[in-house]
């Protein structure tokens, strides 16, 4: 190797190092920015679906009051879950006819399961807790 070639290589190495370091730095910054943006977007959509569920619940109450008759209103949690699942479907762009039909069927199953659980809990909470204990105390006296 001639001295001129060695000198050329020695002068190119720092320039290449700077260029490579810049590329790595920019790539890292872009990656972190993208991850933060996606996280903020998910948080925002979650907040929107939560608020939409609450607004749907309020509207159901207002409709029930306007009808001036006894109406069955599902728990707030179901409205929030409904909006959450719908938001997830929209995010995935699964909004075709078949996907929406599947969503409605899944939603109905979830609502039926949760409603049955709520009814069961209500029945248990209406039973006297210590009925046998009270009877035993009364008969002992």
What is the distance between the alpha carbons of residues 139 and 124, in angstroms, rounded to a whole number? 25
| Positive or negative torsion for Cα 26, 27, 32, 35 | positive
Using pLDDT thresholds of 50, 70 and 90, give the confidence band for residue 141.
very low
Tens of pLDDT, residues 100-109: 788 788 878 8
- Nearest C-alpha neighbor of 41 from the set 95, 91, 94: 91
Tens of pLDDT, residues 9-68: 888 999 999 999 999 999 999 999 999 999 998 899 889 989 999 998 999 888 888 888
| Positive or negative torsion for Cα 53, 59, 62, 64 | negative
Question: Any idea where the domains of the chain sit in the sequence?
Answer: 3-140
């Amino acid at each position: 190797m001639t001295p001129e070639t060695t000198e050329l290589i020695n002068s190119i190495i720092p320039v290449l190092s700077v260029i490579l370091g810049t590329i790595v730095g920019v790539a890292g910054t872009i990656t972190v920015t993208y991850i933060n943006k996606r996280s903020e977007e998910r948080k925002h959509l979650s907040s929107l679906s939560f608020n939409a569920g609450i607004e749907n619940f309020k509207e159901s109450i207002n409709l029930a009051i306007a009808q001036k008759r006894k109406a069955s209103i599902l728990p707030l949690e179901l409205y929030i879950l409904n909006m959450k699942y719908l938001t997830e479907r929209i995010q995935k762009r699964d909004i075709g006819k078949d996907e929406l039909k599947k969503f409605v069927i899944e939603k109905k199953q979830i609502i039926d399961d949760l409603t049955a659980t709520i009814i069961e809990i209500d029945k248990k909470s209406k039973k006297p807790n210590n009925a046998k204990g009270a009877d035993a105390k009364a008969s002992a006296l």
